[in-house]
Amino acid sequence: MRTNQNSNNKFTRFLPLNESVEKGLELEPKISDFEIIKSLGNGSFSKVVLVKHKITKVKYALKIIDKNNQINIEEKSYFKREIEIMYKLNHINFIKLFSHFEDELYCYFIMEYIPYGNLYSYIKNNNKIPPEKVSNLIKQLVSAIYYLHNMIPPIIHRDIKPENILLGENDIIKLIDFGWSNYIKSEIRNTFCGTPVYLAPEMIDGNGHNEKVDIWCIGILLFEMLIGRNPFYDNNRNNLIQNIINVNISWDKNIDNDARNLIELILKKNPNDRIELKDIIKHKFIKKYNGNAENSLIKPEDTIFNDVYIVCKDNPIDFQRRKIEWEKKRKEKEKEGFKKYFPSNDDFNQKKNNNCSLIMFKKENDNLLKELNLLKKENLEYKEKLEKKNIYIFRLENQNFLLDESNKEKEEALQEKKIEIEQYKEIIQKQGDFINLLYSHIKKQNNQNLNLPLNLIQNTNKTFYS
């Protein structure tokens, strides 16, 4: 069981820590870091909302998964695989997963926000899409699927449909929702999944499937964008299934001839007879509107991954590593006596060189203030002890009888108390020096715009021992 850095409460994790947190580049994000703006949609297992980070002001699409939902508990391995796949993708036509985090109740995926809606809404509002635009969208979809199928090991999406395709600026599509995605490790997959009207015949037959199911879905989408309806749709579910199995397409007489030819090459019952992705790009329907579109086919090895994404650079840098190092130094100093460890100027200069944020300086400053208050409290305790010792000595010295042989023990006790007083005086003097040094350090920080409270500065600049 792992614990959240942002909370003392322990909870069972669905997912591993994201890379930026694992490497100590930032603290794990939390839901209170974001302002929720509006809902973007609800799925079978999750919901998506638009959020804005309170510090950076960057907008994200935040996918929220209920950890207490029984289905989600049973299928939590799917969520782990989903983020694993999404982090591997570096292609313009895939939605970007920036980071993820979780708490006791939910898992959260911090994703790229695309404000223009999905392809389903676009088809519904426009009924039919012009062939030249359809050709461009299919070219991009083929490029994305080609990238997936060339991963090592290859990945199949298995849920390509208009609802899972977002439209960005300049008609750039973004394929989303990798909940049903999986790896192909030289074997046929047997999981029955997807949306009924987009199921391939082999998926319905239950004879196993491979990456060819994604190519089938491209043919369905091509037909829907041009005609405005599904090629196999029927109000009766059994008739729908039979139409898919028998590839009984309900054609429209006004369909583009080149587009019809491409659809026929894609929607083949036998997966092995379906046209290859690289041949779809070469097809006349794609080329006559996009020219030489073969350059759009990109393999994973042709892309360069960016550095680890940090949600908020104002979070402490390398928090866990520095915390461990500081605790180690503190323990070493405490072994030397009553002295408390505080960071030297070199420590602070090093933090500045490492781009340590103003927020972290303020937190460190708060820790120093706590140290100062602690020392002041100890100093008062020593003064009280000293006062008690002085009273005790006064009483001993002013007793109205002469010391004789029987009072030697009291005389020895008196000498011991005097020695203790000298030791206390020495300790208090050292503490005074240390507190004055600590005050100088805090005052120096204050000069660096850390805005320490004025009353603290005024109260601190006093002599601690007199």
Token pair of 181 as six digits: 């995605």
- Is the pLDDT at 458 greater than 60? The verdict is no
d(Cα 256, Cα 267) in Å, to the nearest integer? 16
Q: Is a pLDDT exceeding 90 seen at residue 400? A: no
Residue 6 has pLDDT above 90, yes or no: no
For residues 354, 360, 366 and 369, what is the CA-based torsion angle, rounded to 10 degrees?
Answer: 10
**What CA–CA distance (Å, rounded) separates 3 from 16?**
11
Q: What is the pLDDT of residue 2?
A: 38
The pLDDT of 239-244, averaged and rounded, is: 92
Contact between 237 and 196 (Cβ < 8 Å): yes
Q: Residue type at 80?
A: K
Question: Is the pLDDT higher at 291 or at 306?
Answer: 291
- State if pTM tops 0.85: no
Rounded-to-integer distance, Cα 462 and Cα 112, Å: 55
Write down the mean pLDDT value for the chain.
80
Q: Is 159 designated active site? A: yes
Provide the residue count of the chain. 466
Could you tell me the pLDDT band of residue 343, with boundaries at 50, 70 and 90? very low
CATH of region 119-302: 1.10.510.10
Level-2 CATH architecture, domain 19-111: 2-Layer Sandwich (3.30)
pLDDT above 90 as % of the chain: 43
Q: How far does the chain reach from its first CA to its final CA, in angstroms?
A: 54
Q: What is the pLDDT of residue 160?
A: 94
pLDDT (tens digit, 9 = 90+) per residue, 53-112?
A: 999 999 999 999 999 887 777 777 888 999 999 999 999 999 999 999 999 999 999 999
Predicted confidence band of residue 324 (pLDDT cuts 50, 70, 90): low
pLDDT of residue 382: 72
Q: Where are the domains of the chain?
A: 19-111, 119-302, 319-460
Which residues neighbour 62 within 8 Å (Cβ) at sequence distance 6 or greater? 34, 36, 48, 49, 50, 51, 108, 109, 110, 111
Is residue 349 predicted with pLDDT exceeding 70?
no
Q: Among 46-50, 285-289, 379-383, where is mean pLDDT lowest?
A: 379-383
DSSP 284-340: HHHHHHHSSGGGG---GGG--PPPPP-S-TTSPTTHHHHHHHHHHHHHHHHTTSS--
Give the angle subtended at the CA of 296 by the CAs of 88 and 61, to the nearest 5°: 45
Average pLDDT over residues 355-380: 66
Most confident of 217-231, 288-302, 430-444: 217-231
More confident residue, 306 or 49: 49
Report residue 210 CA to chain centroid gap: 31
> The dihedral of CA 449, 450, 451, 455: what is its sign?
negative
d(CA 188, CA 201): 15
DSSP structure class, residue 398? T
From 33, 66, 103, 159, active-site residue:
159
- The DSSP bridge pattern shows strands 106-111 and 165-167 to be unpaired
pLDDT at 5: 44
